[in-house]
Structure 1
Amino acid sequence: MQHFDITHWVATLGYAGLFFIVLLEMGFFFGFFLPGDSLVFAAGLLAAKGIFNIWILVPLLVLTAILGYTVGYWFGDKLGHWLLGRKDSFWFKKKYITQAHSFYEKHGGKALVIGRCVPVVRTFVPVVAGMAEMEYKTYFLFNVIGAVVWGGLITLFGYFVGAAIPDAGRYIVPVILVIIVLSILPGVVHYFKSKST
């Protein structure tokens, strides 16, 4: 069944695989399509079953998220204008930068916290912050807060769901779908608000 496939896939990734995927999604613009939210939730769920150690998992995901956004900032600072000169492709579209820039303009440093929970936006917000030459001390503070909220809270949510609900694995697909919807919802609301103004 599909839910077993998902948990088996995440378990097979191990700590190194989780590190690699989160780093790609957070730090490299071509990782925008990776399923970060559902991945860390599933990892937390599996930690409740003893497959991962929660005391290793949470710090790993938080530190990886911080590192990813550090790389993203560097990309924006050093290569942002090169990105804007590229033609659209599957891996990169200028509209992603435009959307992230609008999000950043509206929320400022808070975009680094809120944007972590919005697919695609989370990948490009650090790039935009780097292009805008946001002061790095301020950037790093919001980077850490956002990483703790995203990597810590979603993982712990999965962990406590797994600990509280017997055989929680059979419900992982609907729960992940809810997480995906909640992740996309802020972007949808923002889109329709911008259309109405």
Structure 2
Amino acid sequence: MLDWITSTINSLGYLGIVLLMFLENIFPPMPSELIMPLAGFTATLGKLKLPYVILAGTVGSVLGALPWYYAGKYLGEDRLKKLADKYGKWLTLSSKDIEKSKQWFGKHGGIAVFFGRIVPAVRTLISLPAGLNNMHFGKFLLYTSAGSALWAALLTYAGYVLGQNYQLVEKFLGPVSKIVVVVLIVAFAIWVIRRRK
């Protein structure tokens, strides 16, 4: 995968970064923790300019969030409530739970989207509840762009500073991403067990 990412950035430049970050949001196994530091390293060689690398990463990330946002909007609250009432007993999820989560997202939606764009594994999925809760598109775009810009800037700058050792970013953030996923799964399992009791 590294060779493909490298050749895409080298051959397409900023457009390649936009494309890779778009795909990273659609297919989460593609790691932004590798894409953006590599792009930052490429900037140290003088092939790309650092601010434009960050901008390209942000644009690709925001574009990748849009399909998930619209998927949530298309699915809609009514459909989800019907699915929860019909099949939710397996996950101890009901339409009342969806209503509570909607109220929570109504209060904290912007902050949730902003920080969600920075948290590995959550980055892709946070757009779904935003669409589901009919978050105003302008607000969604603002918080998604801000969070994505921060994430892209941190990773790009790390690759820029580390130079040829840019892969260290993915080496250290990769396990963190896995830990976040495990913690989320364990927390969800505990929630399900308590609900069943």
User: Normalising to structure 2: TM-score of the pair?
Assistant: 0.67
Is the Cα contact below 8 Å between 2:18 and 2:56 reproduced in 1? yes
Deviation at 1:178, TM superposition (A): 0.9
Q: Identity over the aligned pairs, expressed in percent?
A: 27
Is the Cα contact below 8 Å between 2:158 and 2:169 reproduced in 1? no
Deviation at 1:39, TM superposition (A): 0.6
Is the Cα contact below 8 Å between 2:73 and 2:132 reproduced in 1? yes
Q: Which residue of 1 aligns with 2:23?
A: 24
Deviations 1:106-157 (A, max 9, x none): 8743332333344443222212210121233432332122112112222122
Which range moves more in the overlay, 12-21 or 43-52? 12-21
Q: Which residue of 2 aligns with 1:40?
A: 36
Deviations 1:59-112 (A, max 9, x none): 12222322332343223212568x98xxxxxxxxxx9xxxxx9x9968743332
Output aligned runs, 1:85-104, within 5 Å: none
Aligned to 1:22, the other structure's residue is in SS state helix
Unaligned runs of 5+ in 1: 85-94, 96-100, 163-168
Q: Which residue of 2 aligns with 1:154?
A: 155
Aligned to 1:153, the other structure's residue is in SS state helix
The 1:127/1:194 distance shift into structure 2, 3 A limit, reads closer
Is the Cα contact below 8 Å between 2:116 and 2:126 reproduced in 1? yes
Is the Cα contact below 8 Å between 2:118 and 2:150 reproduced in 1? no
Rg larger for: 2
Aligned to 2:56, the other structure's residue is in SS state helix
Query: Please, what is the CA RMSD of the aligned residues?
Result: 3.4
Is the Cα contact below 8 Å between 1:118 and 1:187 reproduced in 2? no
Unaligned runs of 5+ in 2: 81-90, 92-97, 192-197
User: Normalising to structure 1: TM-score of the pair?
Assistant: 0.67
- Does 1:55 pair with 2:62? no
- Does 1:139 pair with 2:140? yes
Is the Cα contact below 8 Å between 2:76 and 2:132 reproduced in 1? yes
Output aligned runs, 1:63-142, within 5 Å: 63-79=59-75, 108-142=109-143
**Length, aligned pairs only:** 168
